[in-house]
Amino acid sequence: MMRVSKLAAAALLAIGCLNIVHAADAPKIELRASDVWDDDYPTVRALRNMGELLSQRTNGRITLKVFSNGALGSEKETVEQVKLGALDIVRVNISAMNNTCPITAVPALPFLFRSVDHMHKALDGAPGEEILKSCEAQGYIGLAYYDSGARSIYAKKPVHSLADTKGMKIRVQPSDLWVSVANAMGANATPMPLGEVYTALKTGLTDAAENNIPSYEGAKHFEVVKFYSKTEHSMAPEVVMFSAKKWASLSKADQALIKEAAKSSVVQNRKYWADRENQSLAKVIAGGATIVTDVDKKSFQDAMGPVYAKFVTTDQAKALVKAIQDVKDTPDAAPAKAAAPAAKPAKK
């Protein structure tokens, strides 16, 4: 009996030593992530949060350096770097993935989500998982969705209904879906990277752009175009994508750690986002912007048929749209976060 337990103890000790040796031997992993926004932006803060969690949970073995302010390139460029394995992680709007893995157009579709709650439930659930998974074959492991609020049009004049966007030159993200959305509004789509939009608006190369309030504020677009009209036509979320090439070189345990840390950072991101929406709203109003709330959203919604006809063509896309529409709202959940409680409606 004594002999057996001594043996068992020795075996346990050996296993323990092996584990220690394994942990000590496990390679140090220094990950790099890219984001076009500055250090205070909710997406960048969330990425840093993910990095802190990873360091804590591995005693500093896995670290994550976040390159903000587009230091490593535009969204399109960094998405390409991730595919090649030259960069580990990229945080972009999902629209930057549209041309690479077409099913990502689904959550960017106009007027798909009824509210922030609806969007969260759909993306946290099976539809969200399936959309991220669709990028694996293209070289991307989708780790998480971050909040991006609702996108609306801002221009030098107020937009009250579809009639006002007729003939307008609207900057859109470089994605076929977005060109189609602007065209459906009767506008001329001008796709370009975010970094060029300030100058384009200032010089009149474009009349308008569309984005959420934190972007309107963060990119200083409110300095040059003063009317932010709440069309709230899309809730295209942000995504965090990991290089599939790099992923394949990681142990299963490290993959799980990275996935977990990314999921945890989503919770922080939602808090950062809610705060930032309020702060940005206050800033743009203080900076002289007018938030136009009397917008006939239905006139925009009714015009989006051609976009759905063009981008919801496969069985998978149709099933996903239906699955998302069928997601039930949380009873008593707050409606779509209106960005402008104290907004001053512009006169027609």
Q: Which residues bind ligand GTR (CB under 6 A)?
A: 36, 75, 92-93, 148, 173, 194, 211-212, 215, 238
Q: Smallest distance from the beta carbon of 286 to ligand GTR, in angstroms? A: 21
Q: Is the dihedral of CA 237, 242, 248, 252 positive or negative?
A: negative
Is residue 120 within 8 Å of residue 16, measured between CB atoms? no
Question: How many whole angstroms separate alpha carbon 281 and alpha carbon 149?
Answer: 12
Q: Smallest distance from the beta carbon of 236 to ligand GTR, in angstroms? A: 8
Give 76 or 133: the residue with its C-beta nearer to ligand GTR.
Answer: 76
* Torsion angle in degrees (nearest 10) through CA of 17, 19, 21, 27: 180
Q: Scanning the structure block, which residue is given the tokens 């001594």?
A: 6
Give 150 or 162: the residue with its C-beta nearer to ligand GTR.
Answer: 150
Q: Smallest distance from the beta carbon of 178 to ligand GTR, in angstroms? A: 9
**Which residue number places its CB atom closest to ligand GTR?**
93
Query: Which CB contacts under 8 angstroms, 24+ apart, belong to 247-250?
Result: 247/141, 250/29
Give 93 or 265: the residue with its C-beta nearer to ligand GTR.
Answer: 93
Q: Which residues contact 168 (CB under 8 A, 6 or more apart)?
A: 155, 185, 186, 187, 188, 207, 208
Q: Smallest distance from the beta carbon of 171 to ligand GTR, in angstroms? A: 8
Q: Smallest distance from the beta carbon of 32 to ligand GTR, in angstroms? A: 18
Number of residues assigned to the chain: 348
Give 275 or 329: the residue with its C-beta nearer to ligand GTR.
Answer: 275
Give 38 or 302: the residue with its C-beta nearer to ligand GTR.
Answer: 38
Q: Smallest distance from the beta carbon of 190 to ligand GTR, in angstroms? A: 12
Give 58 or 234: the residue with its C-beta nearer to ligand GTR.
Answer: 234
Question: How many whole angstroms separate alpha carbon 328 and alpha carbon 171?
Answer: 34
